[in-house]
Structure 1
């Protein structure tokens, strides 16, 4: 996860430095961490650009490092190519707990970024489907001319044909269960609907399964999401035991935003479920999310405001027309992506669809908020086939809780509210 994300942020320090000779990315990252561990703040600062040294003096960086307590262990370093840089990810065990560290290194061996964030809890292995369950889980690849994506089909037992759902992920490189910390919302939904007699296909998102296709290339949300979802619908409609006239798309978050687009391009979708779907531009929602998270302690500090100001500058560049490198845009995503997404109006797309639509929203969702919910209500008020379900205690993942929503809550194990799953099942069963 990058420091500023569509789901939240870590603690980001951006800088560049020219090394005497390009070293392997993992070696460069290790050298920086060695300096910090040894208390060599000046040596660490020497790796900074003048801009970074001014923004984050050595003493400030060393104070941050020391706030973690004693370093007890370093995990294995993993190197991933992301556009123009290599990102070295490493889990560090401190006295205060585990910290995930990301050091971005460019092709010349220069450090291009440093990100510290609390390590997320890992999801436990998914429990196997009980032998006496009313459904089974089968391998099911989503096949396209861009390469197959591995998936899982939860298929009710019996003769069929069964009504079916394709689950479409939110933002980021998501797996088939949409795993976030210890939570697996897509697994909960798939098994819950399958227990109702509805088949469900979930699959690895392309940015998760084949990230090399996005390294250093221009791409759009269609390359990331839409095209694969259309292929998933087509493949599922042809599968044995599936009612081809009743294949539905259930999109979560960004996936819900794109669901009408997927249906329009597919021509084989019977209805749409939009779950916590933004009604506004992602570039409008993104700064709101970050301001909310930075202000959870009751105030916005000067450093917090600097983060927000930097993001505002990146958003302005994304909305412009001038060429700009991906590294200078939100999330390090290329301009082609943001500019294509800016042309999408999800409410207008839903209004233009003749399909039945079910909208789901949690009252404790800080990522897609009441403003979006009201825009959906207003935009679809005259759509007789639009239905709305609101769950006051539910967060963005569909998990019920108390108090203001936060990223920390995503590290607490939970399950999608059963009532939400039941409502989706009943809605699908009611369609004619």
Structure 2
């Protein structure tokens, strides 16, 4: 009998961590760096050789300045293909929560996989530690925090950072957003446009198209279905979670300082007023939407909504993958969040399709 684990962590799509600044989950669920560039060698470390950087690749430590925060820097890594360039490039934008540059989930590092494998195909990749990961305590005190400060502003700044490098083709800098980062893409596009800047195209990985509170409830319903019998403590926590979700149904009535599902009400008001699908209609650049068919967090319902809306648009393309989860790694929906416990890598089909999209635009 397969074991389902509800007690590991909350659903990944949640904003949990913005206020608590912690990766720890309830029972029922789930240093600053100066601007610098130092070359990482391709020496093979002891232990797991799969983590070694291929000999024909280079990695540069490249920190990202945080706009309107003097001295704040987000440590990052630019992975470069062999040669002098200029190379096409892609900025990786994290999902919800305080993610590091690899978007580490236990032993899985999907952003590191993307960076090293896409670089093997001639594409430079920039990934950086998320603002809530580096400055979590400061951001937890900010009751006016929105998706812009969490994600959008830094992603747009990363595009500009790459465009100013001689080894990067400034006309071919793409943006890839995973999960909440994918939902944020229309706002990233708007931020770039307001600065008279642009990306060459956008890649949506498991991007929510629906109301995030609705998706969050759907995730909890799914995970709790594995554990019909709960302890008294778990029952109380479950009741509290669903009480908070119920209050999000009338978020406009909440005081901005109230905390729900790990974020201030002000954050939720901004997020729930945002329609990513409607906003995406402003994008004229090439867009590619990818979805794992075994994903229980952002499901095929979201993929279908993107496809139903933009399926006839010449600048949009779509692909779903059998047997892949929210991390675009092998797994089965029926195993719930236990699929994240096994160390795996991003599926080769996904790497190949992203590379083809970038290299043909």
Q: TM-score range by the shorter chain?
A: 0.7 to 0.9
2:166 match: 240
From the superposition, tell whether residues 125 and 202 of structure 1 become closer, same or farther in structure 2 (CA, over 3 Å): farther
Task: Tell me how far apart the structure 2 counterparts of residues 378 and 302 of structure 1 sit (CA, whole Å).
Answer: 43
Q: Cα deviation per residue 1:311-356 (whole Å; 9 max; x = unaligned)?
A: 343234344333437564112x101111100121111122221111
Task: Tell me how far apart the structure 1 counterparts of residues 52 and 106 of structure 2 sit (CA, whole Å).
Answer: 19
Matched-pair contact (CA < 8 Å) for 1:363–1:390: yes
Q: How does 1:168-207 map to 2 (within 5 A)?
A: 168-207=93-132
From the superposition, tell whether residues 169 and 401 of structure 1 become closer, same or farther in structure 2 (CA, over 3 Å): same
Matched-pair contact (CA < 8 Å) for 2:179–2:298: yes
Task: Tell me how far apart the structure 2 counterparts of residues 355 and 245 of structure 1 sit (CA, whole Å).
Answer: 12
Please give the secondary structure, in 1, of the residue aligned with 2:173.
strand
From the superposition, tell whether residues 82 and 344 of structure 1 become closer, same or farther in structure 2 (CA, over 3 Å): closer
2:12 to 3, 7, 11: 7
Residue 256 of structure 1 pairs with residue 147 of structure 2 = no
Higher-Rg structure is 1
1:289 match: 219
Question: Displacement of 1:308 after TM fit?
Answer: 5.2
1:65 match: none
Please give the secondary structure, in 2, of the residue aligned with 1:352.
coil
2:303 match: 373
Question: Displacement of 1:181 after TM fit?
Answer: 0.7
Task: Tell me how far apart the structure 1 counterparts of residues 29 and 271 of structure 2 sit (CA, whole Å).
Answer: 30
State TM-score, norm by structure 1: 0.70
Question: Displacement of 1:281 after TM fit?
Answer: 1.4
Q: Which moved more, 1:338-347 or 1:212-221?
A: 212-221
2:59 to 126, 132, 137: 137
Q: How does 1:292-371 map to 2 (within 5 A)?
A: 292-297=222-227, 299=228, 307=237, 309-318=239-248, 319-324=250-255, 328-331=259-262, 333-371=263-301
Q: Cα deviation per residue 1:278-302 (whole Å; 9 max; x = unaligned)?
A: 00111110010011011025x4769
Task: Tell me how far apart the structure 2 counterparts of residues 328 and 334 of structure 1 sit (CA, whole Å).
Answer: 4
Q: Indicate the structure with greater strand content.
A: 1
Q: Cα deviation per residue 1:235-279 (whole Å; 9 max; x = unaligned)?
A: 011112101101000000000000121022113211000000000
Q: CA RMSD in A?
A: 2.9
1:211 match: 136
2:156 match: 230
Question: Displacement of 1:217 after TM fit?
Answer: 1.7
Question: Displacement of 1:158 after TM fit?
Answer: 1.0
Q: Which moved more, 1:358-367 or 1:373-382?
A: 373-382
1:128 match: 52
Q: Which moved more, 1:396-405 or 1:155-164?
A: 396-405
Task: Tell me how far apart the structure 2 counterparts of residues 328 and 402 of structure 1 sit (CA, whole Å).
Answer: 33
Task: Tell me how far apart the structure 2 counterparts of residues 201 and 153 of structure 1 sit (CA, whole Å).
Answer: 4
Number of residue-to-residue matches in the alignment? 327
Give 5+ residue unaligned stretches, structure 2: 1-6, 31-47
Matched-pair contact (CA < 8 Å) for 1:364–1:405: no
1:68 match: none
Please give the secondary structure, in 1, of the residue aligned with 2:317.
strand
Give 5+ residue unaligned stretches, structure 1: 10-80, 90-99, 103-114
Of structures 1 and 2, the one scoring higher in RCO (CA 8 A, sep 6+) is 2
Please give the secondary structure, in 1, of the residue aligned with 2:281.
helix
From the superposition, tell whether residues 300 and 245 of structure 1 become closer, same or farther in structure 2 (CA, over 3 Å): farther
From the superposition, tell whether residues 82 and 409 of structure 1 become closer, same or farther in structure 2 (CA, over 3 Å): closer
Task: Tell me how far apart the structure 1 counterparts of residues 273 and 18 of structure 2 sit (CA, whole Å).
Answer: 25
Please give the secondary structure, in 1, of the residue aligned with 2:73.
coil
Task: Tell me how far apart the structure 2 counterparts of residues 351 and 144 of structure 1 sit (CA, whole Å).
Answer: 28
2:83 match: 158
Task: Tell me how far apart the structure 2 counterparts of residues 86 and 389 of structure 1 sit (CA, whole Å).
Answer: 35
Please give the secondary structure, in 1, of the residue aligned with 2:284.
coil
Matched-pair contact (CA < 8 Å) for 1:6–1:171: no
Task: Tell me how far apart the structure 1 counterparts of residues 353 and 13 of structure 2 sit (CA, whole Å).
Answer: 29
Task: Tell me how far apart the structure 2 counterparts of residues 302 and 176 of structure 1 sit (CA, whole Å).
Answer: 37
From the superposition, tell whether residues 263 and 403 of structure 1 become closer, same or farther in structure 2 (CA, over 3 Å): closer
